[in-house]
Structure 1
Amino acid sequence: MSTHPMFSKPHYAAQTLGDQLTGLEGLVDVAAAFPDLPSGVLYVSYVYPDRVMVQLHALAEVEAWRTALDVAADQVCIDQRGYDVSLEFTVSRSGGEFLVWATQAVASLAVSECMPN
C-alpha cells in the first residue's frame, strides 16, 4: 500500500541538524564578535537552513544590530501599519544570511519606506 503524496514527508532544504550548521555557525560567530548585542528570538528554520532570523523587542535594538553588522542605513526597510512601525534588514555574514527585525507601537509616526537591496 503506497502513501498518498499529501501525507508523505515534505522535502525541506534541511533534513538533519547538520544541514542547519551554516546558520548556527553564523549565529555563534556573531555572538562571539558582538556579545553585547541585545538578545532576541533566534530562529534557524529547516526551510531556510542558512538564514538566521532575529526578532528583537524594540526598534533601537535593530539599530544596534545594524551598526554592529555594518549595514548601511539605506538598507533598512521601514514600514508603518496603523500604530505599529517595523524596521527590518538582511545581511550576509559568516556564510549565511541574517534577517533582523522588530515591530513596535509608536503613537504618531507616518513612515512607509522600503529601500531595495
Structure 2
Amino acid sequence: MDLFLIYSIVLFAGMFVIVGLMIFAEYTKLDEVERHFSQNERVRNNKRFWCRNQWIDRQYRMLLILAFFSDSKRYMEAGVVTEAELASVPLALKRWVVWPYYVGYIWALGTVVWIVWRWWCDIPIP
C-alpha cells in the first residue's frame, strides 16, 4: 500500500478521534471546570452569552477556559483570572480541557503536511 494512502487514512481517522475527545470534554468536563471559576466575571459573562447549551455554545465556553490555562500568565497580569482560581482546578481536569485542543493543533499540522505532500508530489485524488 502506498505511504500517502496510509497517511491519509490515519489522518482521517485521527480527525474523528480528536473531535470525539473534544465533544466528550465539552459535555462531561465543562460544567465541572466552570464550577471552579464561579466567581470569575469573564466566565460568568461568557456563560450568560453562550447559554443555550448547544455544541457551539459549549465550544466557546470551553475555549475561554482553555485560554486561561494555555496563557495563564497573561490573564493573571491583566487581572482577568487569579492564581487561586487556576490552582483550584485539579490537574486531571486541566488535562481534559487542554490536551484535546493541543492534539487538534498537531492534527492541523498533519493536515498541512498532507496538503504540501500532495501538492509537492502531484498526487491526484481519484
Shared fold (TM-score, shorter chain, > 0.5): no
Using structure 2 for the length normalisation, give the TM-score. 0.32
Looking at secondary structure, tell me which structure has more strand per residue: 1
Using structure 1 for the length normalisation, give the TM-score. 0.34
Q: Which has the larger radius of gyration?
A: 2
Greater length-normalized contact order (CA 8 Å, ≥ 6 residues apart)? 2
